[in-house]
Homo-oligomer: A and B are copies of this chain.
Amino acid sequence: MMKKLIACSAGLLMAGAASLAMAQVSPEDQIKFRKAGYSYMSWNMGKLKAQVIDGSVAYDQKQVEAAANAIAAIANSGMGALYGPGTEKSVGNQKTRVKPEFFTQKDEVAKVAIAFNQAANELAKVAAGGDKAAIAKAFGDVGKSCKGCHDQFRMD
């Protein structure tokens, strides 16, 4: 099932430009929606960090599972469709920090996107199992894949 999800996500990423033209989401809204997805994932990463890494919030299995599921489901939802033509630069009220390389280095983008999806799916899988050490490891791997993409494709 994980393999299927990953293949699906990578496929959606690639199919992005084609499908969004038909769905008619404006470039401004595409930027808004992709930022919303990343933002919502970051909140859930913060919850996991507090409960699994820092211990600043008591570990709660249901919350940890729900947070990991939200991250994985967003990761698997085809965000590539939100990088269509016209979204290379800030538009209207929507600012973007995406680098131009994101739109030219397709193979590199696919690599980081697949790595991210794999890490997010692994996190959801181990979160359901409740093994805190495994969750901490998977959380770290997701964080690394976030950072990997930011370093390559996001401006400071």
* CB-based contact A36/B40 at 8 Å: yes
Once bound together, how far apart are the Cα atoms of A149 and B95, in whole Å? 29
> A58: nearest residue on chain B (CB-CB)?
B22
* CB-based contact B66/A8 at 8 Å: yes
* CB-based contact B19/A57 at 8 Å: yes
CB-CB < 8 A to A69: which residues of B?
A: 73, 76-77
* CB-based contact B47/A23 at 8 Å: yes
Partner of A22, one of B43, B57, B66, B67: B57
Once bound together, how far apart are the Cα atoms of A98 and B42, in whole Å? 23
Once bound together, how far apart are the Cα atoms of A74 and B68, in whole Å? 10
Is A102 on the interface with B (CB-CB < 8 A)? Answer: no
A residues 47-84 touching B (CB-CB < 8 Å): 47, 50, 56-58, 60, 62-63, 66-67, 69-70, 72-74, 76-78, 82
Is A46 on the interface with B (CB-CB < 8 A)? Answer: yes
Once bound together, how far apart are the Cα atoms of A58 and B72, in whole Å? 24
* CB-based contact B57/A78 at 8 Å: no
* Given A62-B11, A63-B12, A73-B73, residue A43 in contact with residue B25 (CB < 8 A): yes
Which 8 A-B residue pairings sit nearest by Cβ, starting from the closest? Answer: A73-B73, A36-B39, A36-B36, A70-B77, A33-B43, A36-B40, A70-B73, A69-B73
Q: List 14 A-B contacts (CB under 8 A).
A: A8-B66, A11-B62, A22-B50, A22-B57, A23-B50, A33-B40, A33-B42, A33-B43, A37-B40, A66-B77, A69-B77, A72-B73, A73-B73, A74-B74
